[in-house]
Structure 1
Amino acid sequence: MILHASCIAIAGKALLILGPSGSGKSALALKLMAYGAGLISDDQTGLRREGVRLIAFCPSAAIRGLIEARGIGLLRSPAAIPSEVVLVVDLAQPEQDRLPPRRTISLAGCLLPLVLGAQNDHLAEGLLAWMKGGRQE
């Protein structure tokens, strides 16, 4: 399965970034990369099931290690290895709740935690904290 999505890796785990064109997928990936995340893929992300795990990978050698920075151009970055998706953020939907309920999304038969991320000033930092330490029940 190939999605119109970007994906970064933090500590060997993948964060899948969904949203329509122009929603800020690459910008969010770049911000997380500035905090030390690795680039799995930009704009197109491949997903495959391995047992109960969903693995994200770059689907094409032509785009591996490249990310678009609007107004700057295509930038090179070391490519991160395929990694298990542990969190998904959807930039098409704003979060209305201050302390939102746990949300999930099903991708390739895997149920994954979902964060709604449009118009959130601290999104990158919050996602980074979640990826490193999890979310309190």
Structure 2
Amino acid sequence: MANAPTALPSLIEARGLGLLPVVLSGSARLVAVVDMDILATDRLPKKRDFSLFGLTFPLFHRVDGPHFAAALVQMLKQGWHDPE
């Protein structure tokens, strides 16, 4: 489970809009990691993992396209199919 640090304000940065207030939802279960510094180039990426505090999570890279946010939400709702 993960929680927002108590010292941080309840804000989210929305590119092009600025800082927006949000209602924190409390604890959240970490189910995947997206590395926003690495651009995904494979159409169907192979499974990657990321380890943190002895736990392993699926690792995804940033997609440069307008569909990325919607695809990420769909993946978080329904899971990911490994093409292998």
Q: TM-score, normalised by structure 1?
A: 0.53
In the alignment, is residue 59 of structure 1 matched against residue 5 of structure 2?
A: yes
Counterpart of 2:30 (choices 85, 93, 104) is 85
Distance change (3 Å), C-alpha of 1:72 and 1:135: closer
RMSD: 1.7
Select the structure that is richer in strand: 1
Distance change (3 Å), C-alpha of 1:135 and 1:71: closer
Contiguous gaps of at least 5 residues in structure 1: 1-54
The equivalent residue for 2:20 is 75
Q: TM-score, normalised by structure 2?
A: 0.82
SS at 1:85's partner residue? coil
Structure 2 distance, partners of 1:136, 1:124, is 18
In the alignment, is residue 124 of structure 1 matched against residue 69 of structure 2?
A: yes
How many residues are aligned here?
A: 82
Cα offset for 1:100? 0.4
Contact 1:93 1:117 in 2 (8 A): yes
SS at 1:132's partner residue? helix
Structure 1 distance, partners of 2:27, 2:2, is 5
SS at 1:92's partner residue? strand
Cα offset for 1:135? 1.2
Distance change (3 Å), C-alpha of 1:109 and 1:132: same
Structure 1 distance, partners of 2:12, 2:59, is 23
Contiguous gaps of at least 5 residues in structure 2: none
Cα offset for 1:120? 3.5
Distance change (3 Å), C-alpha of 1:72 and 1:90: same
Alignment of 1:9-24 (within 5 A): none
Structure 2 distance, partners of 1:125, 1:70, is 16
**Percent identity between the two aligned chains:** 38
SS at 1:89's partner residue? strand
Q: Which runs of 4+ in 1 moved over 4 A?
A: none
